[in-house]
């Protein structure tokens, strides 16, 4: 008796697997031409072996997200030189693939997931910004202005 209760509890706790047709559609989705967006933000995590990073951007991407996990990095980029926590300007290729209405309905009804598209992200370029120098420079300028005022 306890065994069937555990099996029932396990099946309630675990989400139901996607049907094969849904998995196949997701794996073979056709992506539209990429949209290239520039955003500033910082690297949260680096996966050198997989050539992927997780980033957070200050302005949301067109789909509303501010965190991108598993962002593909081109193999010609020097991922070993990327640094976490520093401010960068990222150029990101954002690919969007539409899901069929049948799959979108399945996700909504069985998984309570509002999703009609999937996205893929690729790092096209990144440039480290010298934010601390800019802050120090503006602080020095304002203190120099104060010195001028007191010198009269």
Quick one: pLDDT at residue 24? 95
pLDDT tens per residue, range 67-94: 999 999 999 999 999 999 899 999 999 9
Quick one: pLDDT at residue 17? 87
pTM for the whole structure: 0.70
Under 8 Å between Cβ of 86 and 44? no
Give domain limits for the chain.
18-147
DSSP state string for 93-131: EEEEEEPPHHHHHHHHHHH----SEEEEEEEEEEEE--H
Residue 114 to residue 41: CA distance in whole angstroms: 27
Mean pLDDT, residues 38-64 taken together: 97
Domain 18-147 = CATH 2.40.50: yes
As given in the structure block, the two tokens for residue 27 are 């794996």
Q: What is the mean pLDDT of the chain?
A: 84
Quick one: pLDDT at residue 8? 46
121 has which bridge partners? 94
């Amino acid at each position: 008796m306890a065994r069937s209760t555990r099996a029932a509890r396990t099946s309630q706790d675990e989400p139901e697997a996607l049907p094969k047709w849904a998995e196949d559609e997701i794996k073979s989705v056709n992506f539209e031409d990429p949209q290239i967006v520039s955003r500033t933000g910082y690297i949260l995590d680096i996966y050198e072996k997989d050539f992927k990073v997780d980033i957070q951007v200050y302005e949301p991407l067109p789909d509303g997200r501010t965190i991108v996990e598993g962002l593909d990095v081109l193999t010609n980029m020097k991922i070993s030189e990327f640094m976490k926590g520093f401010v960068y300007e990222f150029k990101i290729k954002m690919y969007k693939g539409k899901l069929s209405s049948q799959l979108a309905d399945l996700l909504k009804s069985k998984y309570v997931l509002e999703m009609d598209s999937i996205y893929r992200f690729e790092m096209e370029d990144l440039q480290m910004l010298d934010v601390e120098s800019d802050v120090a420079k503006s602080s020095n300028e304002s203190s120099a202005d104060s010195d001028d005022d007191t010198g009269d």
